Amino acid sequence: MSISDILVTGGAGYIGSHLVDALVARDYRVTVLDNLEPQVHRSGTWPSYANPNATYVKGDVRDRSVFEPLVLASQAVVHFGAAVSVGQSMYQIDRYVDVNTRGTALLLDILVNTKHKVEKIIVASSIGVYGEGAYECATHGPVAPTIRDEQQLARRDWEQHCPYCTSHVRSIPTPEDKALYRDNIYSMTKYHQEEMVLLIGKTYGIPSVAPRFFNVYGPRQSLSNPYAGVAAIWLSRLLNGKQPIVFEDGGQLRDFVSIHDVVDCLVLMLEKPGADYLPVNVGSGQTITILEIAKMLARLLGSSIEPQVTQTGRKFDIRHNTADITRAWQTLGFAPKVSLEDGFSELIGWAKTTPDVAVDFFDKALQELQEKGLLVKS
């Protein structure tokens, strides 16, 4: 048997749509199941970039009557349909668990209780499953501190401490086997999804992979969704003549990976067995502070607007997390190709030429966080 029909849930979204294009170009028959979540698709219609050679079905991943026949017609399922925001998940708990955890439970329930021909499942996991990234103490070696408490943030003591000797620790790239600490509901649901898929995959012999995406950026990223990633939020602010808001001191380290590299990695996961039954970091392997990101975006945009560094924290934020991508290289031969400068230039070029793409709703999101008491006063 080989894979010819692929179902992509959430395939109208940002990462899914790029994957759909790549799969169609490789002659797979692709079906998309997507409910056109209004927070992502404000027009309520299929996006203009929908691929004319894919089939689009409007429906919810929690609805068995639509999901089951599509699963049964496929040899591979890429499960990306999800509610996607850390901050929002902390006050829309029921919705996040329902869409993400129960949607995945339904997929697995279908697979286990029907005669299907699925040979590969890919489920979108996230950097969020780690909580804090990996660290090293000069005295105690590798350590895994958990989320900073409110008192520490209020003191503006941003860096993590060693759990044993309390000295400050140094951020190192996070390998997949680092201890996991979810510190928000979204990340918990991502972990539910990954753990359930890998368990059922292993139990029933359905090869399954859980890519743990780091900060994915590129065209079609929702710039108007204030709950999306920082690069999109800041670009949207800059395009609207407003300062990017940078929490803490801006020294947080992250790994920004181009959507094109992500798609290459996903195709390898589909076509090669090397990463079967594993969670796999998908990042660039490059490290950068978020303040540098805000400045680079302004520079590439030709804007003189400086970021506003708040020197205040949010209760659910981690300090550093960057990707160790050794596993993706060793199991799949994955090697990222797009530099940050090139990738951000592409993102900006797209944002500038796409009408209405960057309506800035960030202030509203910030107000919501304030009202829910998720900002730390210092």
Our answer to whether residue 186 is catalytic in this structure is yes
- Tokens 């399922």 sit on residue: 77
Q: Tell me if 289 sits within 8 A of 252, measured CB to CB.
A: yes
| Amino acid identity for residue 316 in this structure | F
Binding to ligand NAD by residue 35, rule CB under 6 A?
yes
Please tell me which residue in 28, 56, 135, 186 is annotated as part of the active site: 186
Binding to ligand NAD by residue 41, rule CB under 6 A?
yes
Question: 194 to 253, contacts with ligand NAD by CB under 6 A?
Answer: 213, 215-216, 222, 229
Helix axes 290-301, 230-239, angle to 10 degrees: 40
Tell the smallest beta-carbon distance from residue 139 to Zn ion (Å). 4
State the DSSP string of 4-38.
Answer: -EEEEETTTSHHHHHHHHHHHHTT-EEEEEE---T
User: Is the CB of 207 or the CB of 211 nearer to ligand NAD?
Assistant: 211
Interacting residues with Zn ion (CB under 5 A): 137, 139-140, 162, 164-165
Tell the smallest beta-carbon distance from residue 105 to ligand NAD (Å). 13
Q: Identify which range of 33-41, 69-77, 298-306, 342-350 contacts ligand NAD by CB under 6 A.
A: 33-41
State the DSSP string of 194-220.
Answer: HHHHHHHHHHHT--EEEEEE-EEE-TT
Sign of CA dihedral 191, 194, 200, 202: negative
Nearest to 211 by CA among 121, 132, 144, 290: 121
Tell the smallest beta-carbon distance from residue 304 to ligand NAD (Å). 28
Near ligand NAD by CB under 6 A: residue from 7, 8, 14, 145 = 14
Q: Which does 35 bind (CB under 5 to 8 A by kind): Zn ion, ligand NAD, none?
A: ligand NAD
User: Is the CB of 15 or the CB of 144 nearer to Zn ion?
Assistant: 144
Report the distance separating Cα 108 and Cα 86, nearest Å.
25
Question: 305 to 324, contacts with ligand NAD by CB under 6 A?
Answer: none
Q: Which residue is nearest to ligand NAD (CB)?
A: 13
Tell the smallest beta-carbon distance from residue 257 to ligand NAD (Å). 8
Catalytic residues: 186
